[in-house]
Structure 1
Amino acid sequence: MSCSEEDNNANLPAAIDGDKTMTNSKDKVRIGIIRCDTHAFWYAHLFERPDPELMRLNHRGCHYYFHEPDNPCQERFAPPAAMAITRVFDPVDPAAAKTLSETFGGRPRVCDSVDEASDDVDLVYVADCDYGGEDHLELARPGLTKGVPHFIDKPFAHTLADARAMIALAQAHDTVLMCASLMSYSPHLERFRGRFADIAPVRSVVVYGGWRLAILYHVISLIQNVMGPGCEWVECMGPDDLNVIRLHYPNGDGGTDAIILNSIDKWPGRHDHESAANVQHCRMDASAYGDGGAIHSPRVGDYLVPYAGLRIVQMADRMARSGVAPIPYAEMLEPMAIIEAARLGRRAGRRVALEEVQ
Structure 2
Amino acid sequence: MSLINRLLLLLLACAAPLPATPSDLPLKVGLIGLDTSHVIAFTGLLNDKDNPSHVPGATVTAAYRGGSVDIPASINRVRGFTTTLTEKYGVRIYEDIAKMCEEVDAILLTSLDGRTHLEQVRPVLAAGKPVFIDKPVAGSLKDAVKIFQLAEDAGVPCFSSSSLRWYPGVVEVATADFGELRAALSYGPATSEPHHPSLFWYGIHAAEALFTVMGPGCQSVVATESSGAIVVTGKWNNERIGTLHGIRDGKTSFKVTAFGTKAIVEQKSGGNYAPMLREIVKFFQTGKPPVPAKLTLELYAFMEAADESVRQGGTPISIPDYLRRHGQTR
Amino acid at match of 2:211: Q
CA offset at residue 289 of structure 1? 4.8
Matched, 1:355 2:330: no
TM-score, L = length of structure 1: 0.71
Q: Which residue is equivalent to 2:174?
A: 193
User: Which of 79, 92, 95 pairs up with 1:112?
Assistant: 95
Give the direction of change, closer, same or farther, for the CA distance of 1:320–1:287 in structure 2 (3 Å limit).
closer
CA offset at residue 313 of structure 1? 2.5
Matched, 1:296 2:266: yes
Q: Which residue is equivalent to 1:262?
A: 246
Matched, 1:82 2:57: yes
SS of residue matched to 1:33: strand
Q: Which residue is equivalent to 2:205?
A: 218
Q: Which residue is equivalent to 1:34?
A: 32
Structure 2 stretches lacking a partner, 5+ long: 1-21, 68-77, 193-199, 324-330
- CA deviations over 1:166-192 (Å, ceiling 9, x no partner): 112223333121112111122321212
- 8 A Cα contact 1:203 1:291, kept in partner: no
CA offset at residue 265 of structure 1? 1.7
Q: Partners in 2 of 1:202 and 1:326 — Cα distance?
A: 25
- CA deviations over 1:1-34 (Å, ceiling 9, x no partner): xxxxxxxxxxxxxxxxxxxxxxx94332110011
Q: Which residue is equivalent to 2:282?
A: 318
SS of residue matched to 1:86: strand
Q: Partners in 2 of 1:321 and 1:293 — Cα distance?
A: 38
Once the two structures are superposed, the pairs formed by residues 94-113 of structure 1 within 5 Å of their partners are 94-104=79-89, 106=90, 108-113=91-96
Amino acid at match of 2:293: Y
Amino acid at match of 1:134: R
Q: Which residue is equivalent to 1:144?
A: 125
Give the direction of change, closer, same or farther, for the CA distance of 1:175–1:317 in structure 2 (3 Å limit).
same
- 8 A Cα contact 1:204 1:257, kept in partner: yes
Q: Partners in 2 of 1:291 and 1:326 — Cα distance?
A: 28
Give the direction of change, closer, same or farther, for the CA distance of 1:45–1:111 in structure 2 (3 Å limit).
same
Give the direction of change, closer, same or farther, for the CA distance of 1:185–1:119 in structure 2 (3 Å limit).
same
SS of residue matched to 1:243: strand
Report the structure number with the largest CA radius of gyration: 2
Give the direction of change, closer, same or farther, for the CA distance of 1:292–1:85 in structure 2 (3 Å limit).
closer
CA offset at residue 94 of structure 1? 4.3
Give the direction of change, closer, same or farther, for the CA distance of 1:334–1:245 in structure 2 (3 Å limit).
same
CA offset at residue 204 of structure 1? 4.5
Give the direction of change, closer, same or farther, for the CA distance of 1:204–1:332 in structure 2 (3 Å limit).
closer
Give the direction of change, closer, same or farther, for the CA distance of 1:32–1:112 in structure 2 (3 Å limit).
same
TM-score, L = length of structure 2: 0.76
* Aligned residue-pair number: 283
SS of residue matched to 2:150: helix
Q: Partners in 1 of 2:159 and 2:279 — Cα distance?
A: 9
Q: Which residue is equivalent to 2:142?
A: 161
Give the direction of change, closer, same or farther, for the CA distance of 1:95–1:110 in structure 2 (3 Å limit).
farther
Q: Partners in 2 of 1:259 and 1:29 — Cα distance?
A: 39
Give the alignment's Cα RMSD to 1 decimal: 2.7
Q: Partners in 2 of 1:185 and 1:289 — Cα distance?
A: 20
Amino acid at match of 1:77: S
SS of residue matched to 2:235: strand
- 8 A Cα contact 2:178 2:264, kept in partner: no
Give the direction of change, closer, same or farther, for the CA distance of 1:241–1:354 in structure 2 (3 Å limit).
farther
SS of residue matched to 1:330: helix
Q: Partners in 1 of 2:244 and 2:62 — Cα distance?
A: 38
Amino acid at match of 2:52: R
Q: Partners in 2 of 1:169 and 1:263 — Cα distance?
A: 34
Q: Partners in 2 of 1:207 and 1:30 — Cα distance?
A: 36
SS of residue matched to 1:175: coil
